[in-house]
Amino acid sequence: MSQRLREAERVFLERYKEWLHTVEEGLSSVAYFYREEHVENGDRLLVQMMEGFAPFSSDNITMRYLFAEKVEMAEEMQHFHEKVKNAKSISSCDTSNERLRFVASDLMPAFQRWKLLVQSVGGESERQDRQ
């Protein structure tokens, strides 16, 4: 039973990492749209990507199990999900420059920190599986 659970966690983590990779590429496109003043396209893509985090919210039991054990990770997860929530209301920014500033200065740094922490969990679980 626990082996099956570990396998399910591993699969969940791999899917989440793939999603993060997709979002990372998408954020580059969002920044491009805002630089070129294609605000509607940037808003639409950003909101769609942020809505894609719904199954991976901090309320998800697997997310809490994988990431909330350590205080630092739990805090970073909350911080990142707060940025995701803020990004969903990107249309409240007045200009494409404000939107770009939010993506580059707020969302991307939080995303990168979170992605690094997620990758570290994968490394830990792989080492434990080998032992």
pTM reported for the whole predicted model = 0.84
The confidence score (pLDDT) of residue 126 equals: 44
Span 114-131, mean pLDDT? Answer: 66
Give the count of beta carbons closer than 10 Å to the beta carbon of residue 32: 14
| Domain range enclosing 75 | 2-130
- Specify the number of domains making up the chain: 1
Q: What is the rounded distance in angstroms from the CA atom of residue 61 to the CA atom of residue 116?
A: 21
- Identify the band that residue 128 occupies on the pLDDT scale cut at 50, 70 and 90: very low
The confidence score (pLDDT) of residue 2 equals: 54
What's the pLDDT tens digit per position in 2-18? 566 588 888 999 999 99
Q: Report residue 8 as tokens.
A: 């399910």
- Identify the band that residue 118 occupies on the pLDDT scale cut at 50, 70 and 90: very high
Give 60's Cβ-side CA count (13 Å radius): 17
Q: Which residues contact 29 (CB under 8 A, 6 or more apart)?
A: 45
State the sign of the Cα–Cα–Cα–Cα dihedral 12, 16, 18, 19.
Answer: positive
Q: Which letter does DSSP use for residue 131 in this model? A: -
The confidence score (pLDDT) of residue 68 equals: 75
Conformation bin of residue 87: beta by default, left when phi > 0, alpha when psi is -120 to 50: alpha
The confidence score (pLDDT) of residue 6 equals: 84
